[in-house]
Structures are given as structure tokens and as C-alpha cells.
Amino acid sequence: MSERKYIEPQPSAETQPFWDGAKQGKLLVRSCRSCDKAHWYPRNHCPLCGSRDLEWIEASGKGEVYSYSYMRRADPPYVMAYVTLAEGPTMMTNLVECDADKIRIGDKVQVKFIETSGGVHLPMFTPQSAVP
């Protein structure tokens, strides 16, 4: 089995603070002061109400598995998932440090950052029971 090689993300002006936060172990979510709702991915223009009065909030890092797919044929295999954050939005991620055959929709998960060879920290999730 090979070591996992990640495709390096390309931060934009809108998403740079997200990646800066990730480097510090913080899962930042864009939230709107006008409609009081968080959205995903981070934007400078609220997709829900149109306001530009936005703020970054630090998410709890807790969520639950919305759905997933085990990429059994990849080398190494990995688990893609959509995780619904406690703050509301659903985001694309991977489930790591877990038994792929035991994952179930609705499982509680906790964020865990994985550093790529390019030095970017990617938010992944792991079952909460696995977190000390």
C-alpha cells in the first residue's frame, strides 16, 4: 500500500482565511450576521440571504456522517464522506482512523487535520469514540 498523496488545494482570496485557520487546528465556517446562518464553502457573499455582512466562526469540529463511499480500489483506499457540522452546513471530507466496514450514516464524528506534503492542513473527520 502506498502513502496517500493529496491533491494540493488552491486557496483563493475567499478561502485563504479558512486554510490559515486549518493550519492552526481551527475549523472555520463562514456565517452571516444578517440571516444568522452558516454556509459552506466559505464565501464573501451570503448565498442564503445575499448579505455581505459575514464573519468567520470557529466550528466545534463535531458533526455526523451524512453519507460516505469507501474507495476500496484506490491505493491506498480511503473513505469519502459528507459530514453535517453541528453548526449546520454539510461539507465534503474524508473519514480517517476508522474501520471502513463499520461506518454508518449518522455516526458522530470529530474533526482531525491532516497535513499534506505541501504543508496544507486538510480537515478530515474521525469517529468521536476514537478521540481521547
Partner 1 sequence: MSDLKPGASLAGTTAMVGVGHSDWIADYAAVRGGTKPHDSFGYAAIAFNRALADAGIDKSEINGLVSGPPTAHERMCEVLGIDPNWGTQADAMMGIQAAMMAIATGMCEVVALVYGNDQRSAAVNYGGSNAAGGNAFLSYIYHAPWGFTSQGALYAIMLRRFMHDTGFTERDLAEVAVAQRLHSSLNPHALMKKRVTVDDYMATHYVCEPLHLLDYCLINDGGVAFIMMSAERARRGKRKPAVIHGIGRHDLSREATSLEPRLTNFYRPAQKKVAEQAFNMAGAGPKDISCLQIYDSFSVHIPLALEGYGYCGYGEAAKFFRDTGISLARGLPVNTSGGHLSESYMQGWNHQVEAVRQIRGECGERQVKDCRFVHYSSDVAGKALSIIYGH
In the complex, the residues that contact partner 1 under the rule CB under 8 A are: 6-12, 14-15, 39-41, 47, 66-74, 78, 80-82, 89-94, 105, 116, 120, 122, 124
* Shortest Å distance, C-beta 112 to partner 1: 13
Going by C-alpha positions, the residue among 89, 65, 95, 92 that lies closest to residue 77 is: 95
* Shortest Å distance, C-beta 132 to partner 1: 24
96 versus 132: smaller Cβ distance to partner 1: 96
Say how far apart CA 78 and CA 71 lie, in whole Å: 5
Say how far apart CA 37 and CA 95 lie, in whole Å: 25
Task: Count Cα neighbours of 122 within 13 Å in the Cβ-side half-sphere.
Answer: 21
The conformation of residue 115, written as its DSSP 8-state character, comes to: E
* Shortest Å distance, C-beta 106 to partner 1: 8
Do residues 83 and 66 touch, judged by C-beta distance below 8 A?
yes
* Shortest Å distance, C-beta 60 to partner 1: 18
100 versus 131: smaller Cβ distance to partner 1: 100
69 versus 129: smaller Cβ distance to partner 1: 69
118 versus 132: smaller Cβ distance to partner 1: 118
The end-to-end CA distance of the chain, in Å, is: 27
